[in-house]
Structure 1
Amino acid sequence: MRSSNPVFSRRGFSRDGHAGFQAGQPQAGNPYAQTQAGNPYAQPQQGTGFPPAAPPQADRMTMDDVVSRTAMTLGTVVLAATGAWVLNVGLGIALVAAFVAFGLGMWQAFKRQASPALIMAYAVFEGVFLGAMSNFINQYAPGAAMQAVIGTMAVFGAVLFLYKSRIIRVNARFARFAIAAGIGYGLLCLVNLGFALFGAGDGWGFRTGGIGILMGIAGVVIASLFLALDFKQVEDGIAYGAPREEAWLAAFGLTMTLAWIYFEFLRLAFILNSGD
């Protein structure tokens, strides 16, 4: 879904957001089909005006490509988070890292092509933010970080199982619902940030108590919907013969979503363990 929305952009689907959900029909609306008019990857043959034949299989995205790039980006997040934890990075630096990570993420979302350097830089700053926040929260709620890791792994495994067994069917309607829910949740978080800046909820806004728990659960559920979209992106990209560079975008989407799920679990663990 080559969405123009810079926040919820998910590459690997068709531009109209519908044809990409026909993975079993690779030529129907396939944005990577070399014989399709308007394919951004197809270049006309000199003197003919027609695109060349499909590229060799070696130039196309595979599951191994996605797994290896995702391992690199997630591994970078983990290493940066570990460093931030060990060095006891303060909350001020953590907030700066969060804003830098957000900016880099938006920059990549606006770009038409994947930038491995940009994606890895995002992973570094995201890791610094998550590591510093984990260390801070763990001091007040011992075990919160480990609980967040276990929760994230459980959600990833559950969504993958539900997706592979087709209990979750990701189609255009599912995508519209997920994006609408994500936008609504994002706006709610901005409102909460405004309250937090004025000291409400001891600086957490209404992210405390029962309301905080409900918001955390809603965040995990909505992020899980985006995780299913990420799985669909990977499946369609492979089925449609996406260029190998698209594996970086798949890894970027998975990393962002898993970081989101982890942070939601971290805040939930903090609320539940701190007795708020």
Structure 2
Amino acid sequence: MKTTNPVLSRLGQAAERERAAGYAAPGAYGQQPGPYGQPGYGQPAGYGQPAGYGQPGVPQQYPAGPGYPAAPPAVAPMTIDDVVVKTVTLLGITGLMAALAWIMVPAALTMPVWIGSMIIGLVLGLVVSFSRMANPALVVAYAVFEGVFLGMISRTFESFYNGIVLQAVVATFGVFFVMAMLFKARVIRATPKFTRIMIAVMGGLFAVMLINLVLALFGVDTGLRSGGPLAIGFSLVCIVVASLSFILAFHEVEEGVRMGLPQRYSWTAAFGILLSLVWLYIEMLRLLSYFQGDD
């Protein structure tokens, strides 16, 4: 099956190779292939099989016993329920690590832990995003470090603006459920054009934020995060794009189920949803802080 989403195309190709490897069997099921393509060197054709082996309508049997490999395993396809369970699991891990970091990390170590967890989370996120195979361990590790990062940034914002974390959490999940309903009702659809535009816009915003972060480390204030009109406008743009990114995440889940990707790819789909939630939450925190005072 074809898809216009490059990420799904890449995962679909990797999944096809994975399924093919799971069903492949060398030679005559563990026997060395004979010369000139003869089946089972030193064995007659159809050795260990019923008469008529290889003929249409005659079922093939897998040899059993010592020295024979097990029958090719079945690869269970992922379902929407798998993605829901994995998403809830990742949210639980992220929330737990955020709470632990908030409570246990000393105030003096807030900034080092903040920066360290942010960098590690960024690296893990890039590795998971560009990986050709689903890797549950990396996805869980991302949730752990992202949770520490969110714990630090949330505690810092809460220390300046009482109640802002709860407001940001409610706003984030409110947007998430609204986008889920819009997607389910097909009000907004992930068409090929929509997907291309979203990927280009998200890539551009990521580049702008990365450049702004580097300049800020050298003391250069671009105004994008200073709380002025430019900062408010930039955060609003980020919130709109982060909200629309849920449409891409939901579409990937839907297409992944339709393509029959293996069950463990549900971790990759859940990672996409978590990524959008984290981005939206951070932008909500920033925007709310702009309306409550100087950042």
TM range (shorter): 0.7 to 0.9
Match of 1:196 among 197, 216, 233: 216
Match of 1:120 among 136, 140, 153: 140
SS in 1 for 2:183: helix
Match of 1:206 among 206, 224, 228: 224
Match of 1:14 among 9, 15, 19: 9
Q: What residue number does 2:20 align with? A: 42
Determine the C-alpha separation between the residues in 1 that align with 2:17 and 2:251.
Answer: 20
Runs of at least 5 residues in structure 1 that lack an aligned partner in the other structure: 5-9, 21-29, 49-54
Q: 1:197 Cα shift?
A: 2.0
Determine the C-alpha separation between the residues in 1 that align with 2:24 and 2:294.
Answer: 67
Q: 1:63 Cα shift?
A: 1.4
Amino acid at match of 1:70: T
Contact conserved, 2:5 with 2:192, CA < 8 A, in 1?
A: no
Match of 1:139 among 136, 152, 159: 159
Q: TM-score, normalised by structure 1?
A: 0.80
Q: 1:223 Cα shift?
A: 1.2
Q: 1:3 Cα shift?
A: 7.0
Determine the C-alpha separation between the residues in 1 that align with 2:256 and 2:204.
Answer: 28
Determine the C-alpha separation between the residues in 2 that align with 1:144 and 1:182.
Answer: 26
Runs of at least 5 residues in structure 2 that lack an aligned partner in the other structure: 29-72
Contact conserved, 1:196 with 1:205, CA < 8 A, in 2?
A: no
Q: 1:86 Cα shift?
A: 1.3
Match of 1:61 among 66, 78, 91: 78
Contact conserved, 1:195 with 1:206, CA < 8 A, in 2?
A: no
Q: What residue number does 1:221 align with? A: 240
Q: 1:78 Cα shift?
A: 0.3
Determine the C-alpha separation between the residues in 2 that align with 1:32 and 1:183.
Answer: 24
Q: 1:205 Cα shift?
A: 4.7
Match of 1:176 among 184, 192, 196: 196
Determine the C-alpha separation between the residues in 1 that align with 2:152 and 2:184.
Answer: 35
Determine the C-alpha separation between the residues in 1 that align with 2:142 and 2:232.
Answer: 28
Further displaced range: 126-135 or 190-199: 190-199
Amino acid at match of 1:41: R
Match of 1:232 among 234, 251, 259: 251
Q: 1:238 Cα shift?
A: 1.2
Instruction: Write the deviation string for residues 5-30 of structure 1: whole angstroms up to 9, x where unpaired.
Output: xxxxx4xx224xxxx9xxxxxxxxx7
In angstroms, what is the RMSD of aligned CA positions?
2.7
Instruction: Write the deviation string for residues 39-65 of structure 1: whole angstroms up to 9, x where unpaired.
Output: 5533465469xxxxxx85x71101111
Contact conserved, 1:199 with 1:205, CA < 8 A, in 2?
A: no
Determine the C-alpha separation between the residues in 1 that align with 2:239 and 2:77.
Answer: 33
Structure 2 vs 1, CA of residues 80 and 2 (structure 1 numbering), >3 Å: closer, same or farther?
A: farther
Say yes or no: does 1:85 pair with 2:102: yes
Structure 2 vs 1, CA of residues 129 and 212 (structure 1 numbering), >3 Å: closer, same or farther?
A: same
Amino acid at match of 1:149: V
Amino acid at match of 1:218: V
Contact conserved, 2:5 with 2:195, CA < 8 A, in 1?
A: no
Q: TM-score, normalised by structure 2?
A: 0.75
Structure 2 vs 1, CA of residues 263 and 2 (structure 1 numbering), >3 Å: closer, same or farther?
A: farther
Percent identity between matched residues is 37
